[in-house]
């Protein structure tokens, strides 16, 4: 099993404790996770989602221009759940079907500033696109 996955599973419960603590303090927070994640099916997640002013929204990150560095006309679909606490829900935005998707599998060679490297697509797609950063910042009033 992947080390990151093991650490993620160990800290999963803490995520919901923190979000609950922020909610109790009337704070504001957002948390995103892959839509297919088992974490979203946990009882503690459902309990959190049952609280007032806690919302879950689905977005497709292709709608926020998440694209591979080697093929700018394609997009990573990456269905994602965004849970917001203490604020309005994150606006749902789904794929508009106007582009092709590429799988989050494998890697490609890249040369930037004369330096060659291997880019893993799963790692690349783990970085928020600028449009998604702007939307999250707008949600949090920044
Ligand atoms: Zn799409």
Name the average pLDDT for the chain: 93
pLDDT of residue 20: 96
Q: Provide the pLDDT confidence category of residue 112 given band limits of 50, 70 and 90.
A: confident
User: Could you tell me whether strands 74-75 and 100-101 are parallel, antiparallel, or unpaired per DSSP bridges?
Assistant: parallel
How far is ligand 1, taken at its centre, from the CA of residue 92, in Å? 14
Q: pTM for this structure?
A: 0.87
How far is ligand 1, taken at its centre, from the CA of residue 27, in Å? 33
Q: For 108, which DSSP code?
A: E
Condensed to tens digits (0 to 9), the pLDDT of residues 24-76 reads 999 999 999 999 998 899 898 999 999 999 999 999 999 999 999 998 899 99
φ, ψ of residue 141 in degrees (nearest 5): 70, 30
pLDDT of residue 76: 97
């Amino acid at each position: 099993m992947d080390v990151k996955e093991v650490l993620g599973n160990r800290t999963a419960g803490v995520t919901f404790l923190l979000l609950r603590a922020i909610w109790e303090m009337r704070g504001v927070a957002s948390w995103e996770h892959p839509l297919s994640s088992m974490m979203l099916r946990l009882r503690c997640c459902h309990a959190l989602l049952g609280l007032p002013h806690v919302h879950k929204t689905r977005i497709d990150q292709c709608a926020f221009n998440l694209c591979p560095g080697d093929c700018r006309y394609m997009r990573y679909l990456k269905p994602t759940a965004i849970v917001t606490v203490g604020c309005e829900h994150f606006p749902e935005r789904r794929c508009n079907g106007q582009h092709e998707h590429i799988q989050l599998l494998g890697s490609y060679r890249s040369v930037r500033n004369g330096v060659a490297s291997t880019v893993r697509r799963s790692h690349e797609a783990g970085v928020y696109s600028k449009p998604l950063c702007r939307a999250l910042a707008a949600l949090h009033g920044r």
